[in-house]
Amino acid sequence: MTRSPEELDLDFVSLDGTGIHTSELQLGTWRFGKENDAGEVEIDETRAKELLDAYDAAGGRYIDTADVYGGGASEEWIGEWLQGRDRERYTIASKIYWQIRDGDPNSRGTNRKNVRDRIDALLERLDTDYVDVLYIHRWDDATDARELMKTLNALVEEGKVHYLGASTLRPNAWKVARANEIARAEGWEPFSVLQPRYNLVDREIEGDYLEFARQQDLAVCPWSPLGQGFLTGKYDRDEALPEESKVAASDRFQESYLTEANFDLHDELDAVADEVDASPAQVALAWLQHRDGVTAPIVGARTVDQLTENLASAAVDLSDEQVERLTAAKGGPYAGL
Ligand SMILES: NC(=O)c1ccc[n+]([C@@H]2O[C@H](COP(=O)([O-])OP(=O)(O)OC[C@H]3O[C@@H](n4cnc5c(N)ncnc54)[C@H](OP(=O)(O)O)[C@@H]3O)[C@@H](O)[C@H]2O)c1
């Protein structure tokens, strides 16, 4: 059954140790203003604002962006959209790391010069005084952990940032653990939110990373929860790629996700989807929401219909047996990032 965003009613969940409550599904805006490998913009300004409207109408309150998304367009469009709305009702997260100026090595990473330069620029684009969560988009080995935490703590003390997040891959969990030890010893703000890649195919964070998050009461907000669209049922092992997909234009996507092992996993996903009368995308998202240690997946969508379908996953209930079957059906991970 197709429902409109207004008929959905997303719940709030606790953002773990932060004490704040936010949406059980977060809105991802990576593809706002993003050009794919074929040179097409995946989500233009009009569509971006429609997606924000639809998410809001469904009760969604957590918007995830980054200062490099769409070369700043994502933050700008969110900032415009927020005008005339009550900023306090929304949790806004952004990220800093990737190089923004050619030939300027200091414009990459989390050195103090770069972080201080970029926080003000991103707040201006978002047209707000603060972001709820500021992530380091990746770990920067060139910046000492103590220097990093001191710089980030200053942003919290200045009121420009409420909470700190680390968007990382699994091998960097110990670096976050060490940085948090330094921060706590100094009375500085530690990282309290993690943003790893996690979906039925990409399972690198299972084990020590999720256990570390649980032990330290850190929120875990997975990105690419649908394996960039692979887990939606729109790809078929025997048929040509769907023309309307913008994501499929990437060679890396095709090589990583469109493998026999992943299509075998998808067969199990289809079987469970039939059993619960839901779409594969909804079951893939519901599986994540049933995983111990996951706080709230970040939902990506290129159209309002996709978004509505994905948000409706919040109402999909899976039995323990179905969760176990899906968990056992492993494919092979995405090679990039
Ligand atoms: N921290 C990081 O390094 C990082 C990295 C990546 C993403 N993120 C965050 O996570 C968010 C989500 O990532 P993602 O975009 O990769 O998420 P995803 O949900 O895995 O993939 C989203 C893409 O899948 C397709 N899709 C989604 N729902 C669909 C449906 N119901 N039916 C058919 N196709 C559907 C759409 O692409 P097509 O229609 O074009 O096929 C859509 O753009 C991002 O927006 C960003 O905020 C963070």
**pLDDT digit string, tens, across residues 138-174:** 999 999 999 999 999 999 999 999 999 999 777 789 9
Question: Could you tell which of 25, 62, 91, 223 is best to mutate to test the pocket of ligand 1, judged by most ligand atoms within 8 Å of the CB?
Answer: 223
Cα–ligand 1 centroid distance for 264 (angstroms) = 21
Distance from Cα 249 to the centre of ligand 1, integer Å: 14
Q: What atom of ligand 1 comes closest to residue 167's alpha carbon?
A: 1
The answer to whether residue 69 is catalytic is yes
Distance 298 CA to ligand 1 centre (A): 8
Residue list, ligand 1 pocket, CB within 6 Å: 28-31, 64, 137, 167, 195, 223-229, 232, 234, 245-248, 281, 298-302, 306, 309-310
Q: How confident is the model at residue 336 (pLDDT cuts 50, 70, 90)?
A: low
Round to whole Å and give the CA distance between 232 and 213: 28
For the CA atoms of 153, 156, 160, 165, the dihedral, rounded to the nearest 10 degrees, stands at 80
Residue length of the chain: 337
Atom of ligand 1 nearest to the CA of 242: 41
Res. 201: pLDDT tops 70: yes
Query: Which among 55, 69, 90, 257 is annotated as catalytic?
Result: 69
The class level of CATH for 9-328 reads alpha beta
Alpha-carbon distances, residue 193 vs 29, 157, 166, 296, 297 (angstroms): 18, 18, 6, 11, 12
> Angle of helix 173-186 relative to helix 145-157, nearest 10 degrees?
60
Instruction: Give the count of beta carbons closer than 10 Å to the beta carbon of residue 84.
Output: 6
Give residues with Cβ within 8 angstroms of 270, minimum separation 6.
Answer: 233, 280
Which amino acid is present at 83? Q
Quote the radius of gyration of the chain (alpha carbons, Å).
19
Can you tell me the mean pLDDT for 269-289?
98
Q: What is the pLDDT of residues 211-265, one digit of tens each?
A: 999 999 999 999 999 999 999 999 999 888 998 898 888 888 999 999 999 999 9
Which numbered atom of ligand 1 lies nearest the CA of 138? Answer: 3
- The region of weakest confidence among 35-39, 91-95, 220-224 is 35-39
> CB-side exposure of 186: number of CA atoms within 13 Å?
19
